[in-house]
Amino acid sequence: MCVDNGYNFCVKDGDNLAQVCCADATCAQAKDSSYSCTSSFKDFAQAKNAICVEKLAQTKTAAKVAHSETLGCNVCVDNGFNFCTKKDDFAQICCSDASCAQAKDNSWSCSSSFTDLAQAKNAVCVNQLAQTKSKVAHSEGLSCNTCVDNGYNFCTKDFAQICCLDASCAQAKDNTWSCSNGFTDLAQAK
């Protein structure tokens, strides 16, 4: 939400739990070389990928969340759990590991069946949830993560952004816009 609303998001290198949302590039963290901030990038999409995706991915490995069957797909997989979605259904569950009943049932698709994290997230979090459209109704104002996590198409151009229902929106057809549907890897899309 910080970057999506035009603010400067900073993450401390080596201590990714130290995060701050500043009004602009004049905050103390933006001037501190031990922080990485979105204001150091000229390109909005590049800033979000470098700081909001890559840096925060390190945070997730540094600060594991407690297991809950209701964790969302990305949080579940990023924290080493097994996310399963039932094929052709809205059912989904975050299992603590690959020994859950869903992982052994062919009517479910689970992240534990992949050895590569990006591939698991792409297959389970993006592809399967895109078919069910998850639990978040589409809105053009959804944040990048919510938009992509729910199988929609997030597009940016300079500092303009829109969450499209799919790849048929005008922005996705305009090559001056950068859209998530152009990527097969979830991390690259975000």
Cβ-Cβ contacts under 8 Å for 23 (sequence gap 6 or more): 7, 8
Answer yes or no: do 80 and 128 share one domain.
yes
pLDDT per residue as tens digits for the range 11-34 = 777 654 567 777 788 888 888 888
Give the model's pLDDT for residue 101.
Answer: 94
Q: Does a structural domain hold residue 110?
A: yes
Q: Domain range for residue 121?
A: 73-132
pLDDT per residue as tens digits for the range 85-130 = 887 666 788 899 999 999 999 888 888 888 777 777 777 777 665 5
**Residue with the larger pLDDT of the pair 32 and 146:** 32
- Percentage of the chain beyond pLDDT 70 is 72
Q: Does a structural domain hold residue 68?
A: no
**Structural domains of the chain, count:** 3
Write down the residue that tokens 């829109």 correspond to. Answer: 162
Domain end, chosen from 21, 38, 62, is at: 62
pLDDT of 180 over the 50 cut: yes
For the chain, what is the mean pLDDT?
76
Q: Does a structural domain hold residue 152?
A: yes
Average the pLDDT over each of 43-57, 62-76, 138-152, 155-169 and give the range with the smallest value.
43-57
pLDDT of 172 over the 80 cut: yes
Q: Does a structural domain hold residue 2?
A: no
Answer yes or no: do 52 and 80 share one domain.
no
Helix ranges restricted to H, the chain: 28-31, 44-47, 56-62, 73-78, 117-120, 129-132, 144-149, 170-173, 186-189
Residue 180 tokens read as 């998530």
Distances from the Cα of 64 to the Cα of 76, 97, 111, angstroms: 10, 14, 17
Answer yes or no: do 52 and 13 share one domain.
yes
